[in-house]
Structure formats: C-alpha cells, structure tokens
C-alpha cells in the first residue's frame, strides 16, 4: 500500500500514535527490526480513560511518554503490534546505526542512510541526569533538533520543550500527566498560529473507544476529526476507525495464532466512502528462533515484501528486506535493502 495515505506508520492518526507511545516497550534502533513482541496481556476488568490535548504533538518514542507502565498500555498495544507487523523496518535501501551507551548518562547514536548515490545521516546525543533528559540531533543538512524533558516535575507530571534550529517557529511546549487509569497530554506550538489537537479514549480490557479533533487556528477550521473502537481478546484484536474527516473507513485485525512468540497474522482494509475505493494489506510475523524473525506483507497494489531480522549479538541487529512489484513494467520489479544496527 505504498503511496496510500494510510499505508505508512508516519501517516497514522494521532489516536494511533498516542497508542503507540503508551505501549511502554523497549526502544530499538530506528534501522533495526526488533524481535516479535508478545500480544497484549489482559488486565483487570476496570474502565480506563485517557484524554490528550496536544496542540502540536511531539514525536515521542515508545518509552518517552509511558515512564510508568499504565494499565492503558495493555489495550493500546494492538495499535503498535499492527504498525510493527505491517510496516516497521521495511527498508529497501541501505541503513547503518551505531549506538554508544555510557554509564555517565550520555549516549551517542550515529545513523547513516544511502539511497542510490545519495547519503544522508545524523548524530543523536541523549543525556540523562536525574529527572532531566536532553536530546540533541544534528543532521547532514545542518539542522539541529533539541528536546529537553523534565520528569516528575510534580507528581506524575512531565514537561518537555523542543525546538529546531534554524526554524524559529518550531518551538513546542508539552505538559503531560499520567495516571494508572488516565493520561493527559497538552502541548502548544510556540508560534503565532499553532495547530490545536484533542484526542480522547475510554476502555476496558475487552473494548476501547477513542476520537480526535484537530483545529487550525490560522484558517479557524477543523483540520481533522477521526474516531475508532477496538476489541481485544487474548488471541486477537480488531479495530474499526472512521478517518480522514469521515471520508475513510479503516478496519484492522490481528490474530495471534501461536502465542507468545510464534505466528501472528494481521490485515488492514481501507474503504473510501466518496469514491468507493478499497485498499488492503495482509502481513505475517513468525519467530523462527529467539534471535530470528521473518515477516511477509502483501497488498492489493501488486506488491509483495519479505523481511528477515537476526539478532547476531545482544542489541545488534541485521535486517534484510525485499519487495517485488508485479505491476512494474519498466525497470527492475524487485528492490532490496539492508539495515545494520550495532550497539557495543
């Protein structure tokens, strides 16, 4: 489903991105496919609510928000599993990541990406001292991205400030509150015309519902409004979403055939109400052994993809990806990619 506005994780709705941030899973290098995740565990039959009011949401990783694992993480995990299985780390170029941790609290990560004859990269430094985290990234275009996070400023509250240089309008301030049964995330873009967004969800161990609204203060109009509902059982998760301002109906399903690290099957269907267009993607993930994971993906546009990830040493991963486009007449219908992540 490459080319579809619903095909890549980067285009997931805010509701899905928030769910990914609440999974509480260990962060892996960006260029490496992690081992198969176990399906979400069941929780006590109580109702959980989380409300988010982000003006401009940061791109927090899976650990940055859920410092304490909340019960919310359990039923939100299905969103992360779907994105990981269908889209994560399918790379058809060359990537290299080197992570150098330090006991002093300063960690460095260098990332390189090569496509055809072009090479781009960045260097990321992460410093942690007590409840303060400073994240600075410099890329090959001389852009500097900085995020400063203060954890537990008050009880269960986190404050984060981010900005990019030289973009003087990129500043963002984020205040978060996390509770075992609720979470609030309010953020504001430090510019004259910020984007306003509101997302909320409520659920139990078996069912959860959520909705989001985006408001553009420049045009005084709604930029988005989406809603979704998820059903969770020990061996499957199903989601139905109304997205793209009510123009698209999106359904996804994950089935855990062999728990916890065996075969997992996922499917995603998108129906556009205005044009009656249907798009679908089907994927599988299979753990061959504790260090090897195989993934496949098939879509209605005639593309088939394969991925093999191997942890050849602790925290060091090598990922091979391949894709075949049966509709491509001119040029090579096959693409290959290699990603290597090293962590001493």
Give dist(CA 310, CA 297) in Å, integer.
Answer: 18
Cα–Cα nearest to 262, from 243, 289, 281, 302: 289
pLDDT value, residue 339: 93
Q: What is the mean pLDDT of each run of 10 residues along the chain (344 residues)?
A: 39 44 38 39 35 30 34 47 82 91 87 86 91 92 91 83 86 77 74 80 78 81 86 88 90 84 88 91 90 93 93 89 88 89 88
Q: Which two tokens stand for residue 60?
A: 């927090």
Domains within the chain, CATH numbers bracketed: 9-342 (2.40.160.10)
- For 30-53, b/e burial (b = at least 16 CB within 10 A) is bbbbbbbbebbeebeeeebebbbe
């Amino acid at each position: 489903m490459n080319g579809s506005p619903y095909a890549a994780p980067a285009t997931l709705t805010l509701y899905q991105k928030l769910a990914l941030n609440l999974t509480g899973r260990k962060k892996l290098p960006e260029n490496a496919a992690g081992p198969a995740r176990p399906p979400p565990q069941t929780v006590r039959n109580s109702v959980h609510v989380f409300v988010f009011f982000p003006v401009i949401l940061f791109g927090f990783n899976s650990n940055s928000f859920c410092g304490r694992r909340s019960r919310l993480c359990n039923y939100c995990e299905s969103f992360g599993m779907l994105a990981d299985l269908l889209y994560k780390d399918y790379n058809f170029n060359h990537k290299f990541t080197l992570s150098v941790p330090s006991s002093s609290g300063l960690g460095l990560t260098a990332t390189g990406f090569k496509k055809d004859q072009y090479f781009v990269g960045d260097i990321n430094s992460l410093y942690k001292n007590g409840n303060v985290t400073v994240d600075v990234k410099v890329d090959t275009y001389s852009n500097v991205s900085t995020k400063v996070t203060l954890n537990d400023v008050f009880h269960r509250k986190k404050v984060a400030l981010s900005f990019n240089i030289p973009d003087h309008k990129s500043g963002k301030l984020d205040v978060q509150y996390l509770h075992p049964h609720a979470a609030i995330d309010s953020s504001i873009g430090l510019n004259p015309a910020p984007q306003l967004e509101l997302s909320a969800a409520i659920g139990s161990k078996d069912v959860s519902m959520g909705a989001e609204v985006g408001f553009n203060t420049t045009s005084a109009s709604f930029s988005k409004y989406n809603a979704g509902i998820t059903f969770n059982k020990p061996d499957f998760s199903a989601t139905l979403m109304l997205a793209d301002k009510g123009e698209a109906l999106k359904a996804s399903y994950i089935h855990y055939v062999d728990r916890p690290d065996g075969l997992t099957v996922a499917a995603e269907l998108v129906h556009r109400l205005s044009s009656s267009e249907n798009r679908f993607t089907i994927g599988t993930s299979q753990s061959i052994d504790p260090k090897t994971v195989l993934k496949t993906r098939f879509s209605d546009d005639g593309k088939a993809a394969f991925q093999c990830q191997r942890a050849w040493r602790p925290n060091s991963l090598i990922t091979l990806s391949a894709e075949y486009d049966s509709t491509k007449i001119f040029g090579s219908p096959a693409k290959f990619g290699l990603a290597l992540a090293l962590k001493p």
